[in-house]
Each structure stands twice: as structure tokens, then as C-alpha cells.
Structure 1
Amino acid sequence: MSDLTLQEKQQQAADWFRTLRDQICASFEKLEDEATGPLSDRDAGRFERKTWDRTNQSDGAEGGGGTMSIMRGGRVFEKVGVNISTVHGTFTEEFAKNIPGADEDPSFFATGVSLVAHMNSPKVPAVHMNTRFICTKKSWFGGGADLNAPLPVAQDTADFHAAFKEACDRHDPAYYPKFKKWCDEYFYIQHRNRARGEGGIFYDQLNSGKWEDDFAFTKDVGRTFNEIYPALVRRHMHDSWTEAERETQLEYRGYYAEFNLVYDRGTTFGLKTGGNVEAILMSLPPEAKWP
């Protein structure tokens, strides 16, 4: 058992997610500075930040908020958002039935970081990552990262998975096979009968009874992402692409959007708890096509 109070745990988690946001934004801006590929005549992209406040749906009281960090039209990133939020309030009676511990008391606290990157080049994989700490009468960590390449490269996929396997193995050898399977099953577009991407890891309701251990793992997930993904981007960001490859990318983005709007629990959670709609739908691509 941890000697920290719940409030101290919440603050430590929120502070870490803010730190991770800053580290990832710095890494992505460095990629923009390094780019010498097809769009290198553009100014290097930079993040712009926008804060938002949340009002509780039940009583109109202040309910926390967050900060969006968005980069658009860069050399490498067509659109990328790295958002953080720390919110609290009360679930609706209907939604509380679906959240562990909320059936006893609908009050909640949630803090996290969420990232989605859509790239200019179809040869550079899109990616999603988020980690979070949620409290009701129960508390847990969740999150993960998954690769979403319009034009998959076997070595990229293998290296992405290897990085997260190493991260998982540092904490529990059972984590990677469990969380990889969970990712494969969760990020599946049922009506298309296809996976959303090349997978990664996904975990939820992680509470081993040792808060420091669960927090350490969640931090490792974030650090691992910030090591492996920029490395994959550097492999391909200088390469040119064809119009046909761009068309493939736009169609793939359509599938990505379908999943996020139909199945994604994070989208549902945000919309059902009075979150910022612009931040919630940050994950949608700037341009997409449907065949």
C-alpha cells in the first residue's frame, strides 16, 4: 500500500502527464527542424496551446479542464495533438453504470495525456498514444500506444512492438502478451472486419494494489513511446511519395475516423462527461476519403 494520499497520487499523475506532454512536443518539434524531405521548404511546425475549462453537467460547478497542444501544416506532421486534461465531477446515472466503482458513487476524477499524429507522408505511420489515471470509489491506470500505418513496413511494426515488449517485461512478463492481445481486440473495426492498424499495447483498470508500481509502468509506457516513435519517423520522413500512396493514406484515414467515432471509449467518455468537444475530436484526421 502507498503512503500517499489519494490527492497526492492524483497530483503526481497530473504532473507527470504534463511533463510527458512537454517532452513529446519537444521531440516532435525537433523532427520538424530536422526534416529535409519533400515539404522542407515550409517553416518548421510548432505547437500552439489552447486551454479550456470544464463545467459540471449536473450542477454547473467548475470541473477542471485541460490544455490542447496542436501542430498543423508542418514539414512532417500534417496534424498532431498532444492534449492533457484533469477533470472531476459526477457521472450521469446512465453512464455511471458502465464505470467501475461509479455505481456506488457517481463522483469521478480523471487526468491524462492523449496524442494522435497524422503525417504528411503516407510512408510515415500515424500513431496514437494515451495514458490516464481515473478515480471513482476505485482507482486505476490505463492507456497504451498503437501504430497506424497506411503503408505498413514490417520492420517498423516489429521494432514498435519490441520496444513496448521490453517496457512491459521490465515490470511484469505477463503484461506484453496480455496487453498486445487487448490492443488487437480493442482497435478492431468490426463493421469493416479489419484491424485499425498494426497494434501495440492497450491496458485498462490497472490496479495491482501497488500504486507506485502501476504508476512506474504507466510512466515507462510514455517514455518508451517518446523513444521509439520518433525513431520510426526519422526512417521515412525524408522520402518522397506518389499520388497513389497519398490516396491510400486518405482512405485509411477514413477507417481510422470510423473507429474513433463508433467504437472508441475515450471519445464516449469525453462526450458523456461534458469534455471539450474540440479536444475530444482532435483525433480525427485533417483530410480523409471513403472509397
Structure 2
Amino acid sequence: MQNNISADIQRVRDFLLDLQSRICDSLEQQELAGGGTAKFEIDDWERPEGGGGRSRVLQNGTVIEKGGVMFSHIQISKLPPTATARHPEIANCKAQALGVSLVIHPKNPHVPTSHANVRLFVAEPEGQDPVWWFGGGFDLTPYYANDEDILTWHQKAHDLCQPFGTDVYPEMKQWCDDYFYLKHRDEQRGVGGLFFDDLNRWDFDTCFKFIQSVGNGYLDAIIPIFERNQNKAYSEAEREFQLYRRGRYVEFNIIYDRGTIFGLQSGGRIESILVSLPNLVSWSYRAEWPEGSREKRLTDYYLKPHDWLTEL
């Protein structure tokens, strides 16, 4: 990496742009299969400090109510505190950050919201070799949880990790459970998946192969979930519950999410940072659901950490 920093960054950039395009194409096919015609609009942008990105957003579709698949590659002249708290050795360094981040909010309450991102961070201390690491993962947030969907999701996460070591899935699954947790609600954001940061345990090429597997794995996992659920009938009460539960998603993203905080502190593009928020959401005062209902079971069972591959 040290001798080919520009070439290595370009390789990652090329993969990320291709991944963004493939994800959007596949999700547009799901929209079409559900009778919709909405497409991802392209918004290319530049950042005054350096770099820019390509935002692709689909809104008010028949299958997907709001979807953002965002590519960015930014230059940072001085790292903000969120980037250096765990890495004081790179305080005040210039850096580059590039990645693809996405959140897909389906319209049908039986299709979970999904999130994924893969990214590379490179700091350049003056007179020293670059410091780099990868990060990312994917996680699933159902409203009406389906065991088959959860197994599909976690089996894909498990399988893509296996070539890199038998300890990788359990570690990154646990990290995901720990990270996507709303402390003030004492509940998980969803049923988890994978999460990792500061990944440089292997050489650069192996770490790069891992994020390629994660990015491709998201697409392989989410499409069968759409196909099983996107045409299911739903009631107005189920739709109302979906909007209520989306409120938890918003709470996590604006209170805890590192990417949101980093974007705001680094002078990021606000539309891109907040694209993860759904168009429609609601909060209800002390909303309660009856014992034995699917709504009650979501919080009592599914929004607790589980070893899904052995318990379902």
C-alpha cells in the first residue's frame, strides 16, 4: 500500500462505483417487478474542500418508498475529533475517505429496512507512511419479522466471512449487535448482521477482498427478501406500525451513528448525510400492542441479540 497509495485508492474507488451501479440496477428491477416505474436519480456533487460524490436516490416508488445509495470520495485537510479519538497518532493529519453507504426503506411493512456500507479511510501523516483501514457491514431492520428472512441474512453474512477465518462472523456479528443498540430504548435497531471498523488485520489486498465480499453479499442477501415479501398484502394498521418503528431508526441515526456524526463534523454534504432518513415516519406516545401480537413479539423477542443460525 505504501508504495502504491494512489493506485490502491483508485482500485477501491472503481469497485465502489461499480457496486453502487449494480445495487441500484438490482433494486430498480425489484421496483419494476412490483409494478413500479421509479428509478434512482443521479446527483453528482463536489465538495469545496476537495472531492465529491455521486448520490443516487429513489423516492415514492411502488416497492421502495425511499432509497439512497451514496458514493463519496472526500479530501480532508484536518481530521475531526470523531476520526482521531481512537487514533491520536493521526490527529491533525490530512486524509481521504471513500465509500458506498445505503439505506433502503421499502413501502411494504413486510419488507425490512436494510442498511449497508463499505469504506476505506487513508490518513497521510507528514513524512510517514499512510495509515489505512477499511470499515463497513450490513444490518437488517424488520417491522414484521420473518424467520426465513433472518436466516437468509445471517447465513449470507456467515458464509462470506468463512474464507477469512472461522472467528470473523461471530466477532463482527457481535460488533453489529453492540453497535446498533439504542441505549435509551434498551433495544436493538434490528436483527443485526455484520459491522466492523479499523480493519487492517490482514494485508491491503485481503482486506479489500473482504469488503468486496461484504458489498456483494448485501445484494445477494437482500434480493431474496424482497422477492418473498414485496407483494404481500398489508393493512393500514400494519402500515402505521411500520411508520412508528421507523421513528426508532431515525433516533439511532441522529443520536448514535458514527457516520452521521463524522459527516457533520467534517463539513459533509447535509443532503447526503441525512438521506438515510425515511420520507414518512411517526411517533406515538407510549404506544402499546397486545400480548401475543406480532408487533409485541418484535420488541420482546426479535429486537434482542440472538445466535440466529442456531436458534431459528
When the two structures are superposed, what TM-score results if normalisation uses the length of structure 1?
0.92
Native 8 Å contact 2:114 2:138 kept in 1:
yes
Native 8 Å contact 1:54 1:274 kept in 2:
no
Q: Give the CA deviation at 1:98.
A: 1.9
Deviations 1:243-288 (A, max 9, x none): 1111110111000000000000000111111111000000001111
Letter in 1 for 2:270: V
Moved over 6 A (4+): none
Task: Output the aligned Cα RMSD.
Answer: 1.5
Letter in 2 for 1:23: R
Q: Does 1:187 align with 2:180?
A: yes
Which of the residues 242, 249, 266 maps onto 2:259?
266
Partner of residue 276, structure 1: 269
SS at match of 1:75: coil
Letter in 2 for 1:194: E
Q: Give the CA deviation at 1:178.
A: 0.3
Native 8 Å contact 1:96 1:106 kept in 2:
no
Q: Does 1:88 align with 2:87?
A: no
Deviations 1:192-217 (A, max 9, x none): 00000010000000002411000001
Letter in 2 for 1:228: A
When the two structures are superposed, what TM-score results if normalisation uses the length of structure 2?
0.86
**After alignment, is 17-26 or 201-210 more displaced?**
201-210
Q: Distance in 2 between matches of 1:206 and 1:238?
A: 39
Q: Give the CA deviation at 1:91.
A: 3.0
Aligned ranges for residues 154-169 of structure 1 at < 5 Å?
154-169=147-162
Partner of residue 112, structure 1: 99
Which of the residues 210, 219, 223 maps onto 1:217?
210
Q: Give the CA deviation at 1:105.
A: 4.2
Q: Does 1:147 align with 2:140?
A: yes
Unaligned runs of 5+ in 2: 125-130, 285-312
Q: Distance in 2 between matches of 1:225 and 1:262?
A: 25
Tell me how many residue pairs correspond in the alignment.
Answer: 278
Letter in 1 for 2:6: Q
Q: Give the CA deviation at 1:154.
A: 1.4
Q: Give the CA deviation at 1:71.
A: 0.4
SS at match of 1:183: helix
Which of the residues 161, 186, 190 maps onto 1:197?
190
Deviations 1:146-203 (A, max 9, x none): 0011111111111100001000012221110000000000000010000000100000
Native 8 Å contact 2:67 2:103 kept in 1:
yes
Letter in 1 for 2:53: G
Q: Does 1:9 align with 2:2?
A: no
SS at match of 1:289: coil
Determine what percentage of the aligned residue pairs are the same residue: 36
